[in-house]
Chain A
Amino acid sequence: GAVVSQHPSWVICKSGTSVKIECRSLDFQATTMFWYRQFPKQSLMLMATSNEGSKATYEQGVEKDKFLINHASLTLSTLTVTSAHPEDSSFYICSADRGNTEAFFGQGTRLTVV
């Protein structure tokens, strides 16, 4: 079946630094990928839709300058958390779909900012 690979699976960084998370579709091309954030005991919240070759679409309340998304190829989208702060600590998950079918998720990245 389809596989989406996300890297790294966990990262600890100092406050003020930037962290890049990669999301790759391994056996299919994904023109659209999605980035989610999940705080403890809460559901997944859509942050942004990443479109190959164009700008990402951000959900209301998500700062586009803080969460930089790049979707340079049909198999790779990256999310960069810039100037990370402790409140950005969360579980970040990407997903990709093959056109209205189920969404395939990456393994998630647990970010801790200290």
Chain B
Amino acid sequence: RKEVEQDPGPFNVPEGATVAFNCTYSNSASQSFFWYRQDCRKEPKLLMSVYSSGNEDGRFTAQLNRASQYISLLIRDSKLSDSATYLCVVNNPGNQFYFGTGTSLTVIP
């Protein structure tokens, strides 16, 4: 079983739409959770960390459900510049980072 399972996508949404990505992880001892953004042919960059209480950063909201081992990312009022691949990332004991397969988002004018 994969460490991290993520919505396959792709998502093609119009500007201004709200889009949600989901992710599950298999190791109940996982310690930290993140969403990364990867633009084509570039390295992943941290979008936001995910906390148990949920956290929001502008148009982005991340949620963590430890009981269900489930992580989500919500993007409101999508912009063209949001087009990228979004990676769900889990940090396990031993400090190893495991990545989901990534979900491709294209925001259409």
Contacts and interface: CB of A to CB of B under 8 A. Distances in A.
A100 B97 contact: no
A9 B86 CA distance: 22
B55 interface: no
Contacts of B43: 93, 105-108
A46 B32 CA distance: 17
B95 interface: yes
B101 to A, nearest CB: 4
Contacts of A34: 96-97
* Highest count of chain A CB atoms <10 Å: which of B42, B44, B100: B44
Contacts, number: 51
Contact of A105 (B32, B45, B100): B45
A15 B34 CA distance: 38
A49 interface: yes
Given A108-B42, A108-B43, A44 B49 contact: no
Interface of A: 32, 34, 36, 42-46, 49, 91, 93, 95, 97, 99-103, 105-108, 110
7 pairs of A and B residues whose beta carbons are closest in the complex: A105-B43, A43-B101, A44-B99, A102-B46, A43-B102, A108-B43, A103-B97
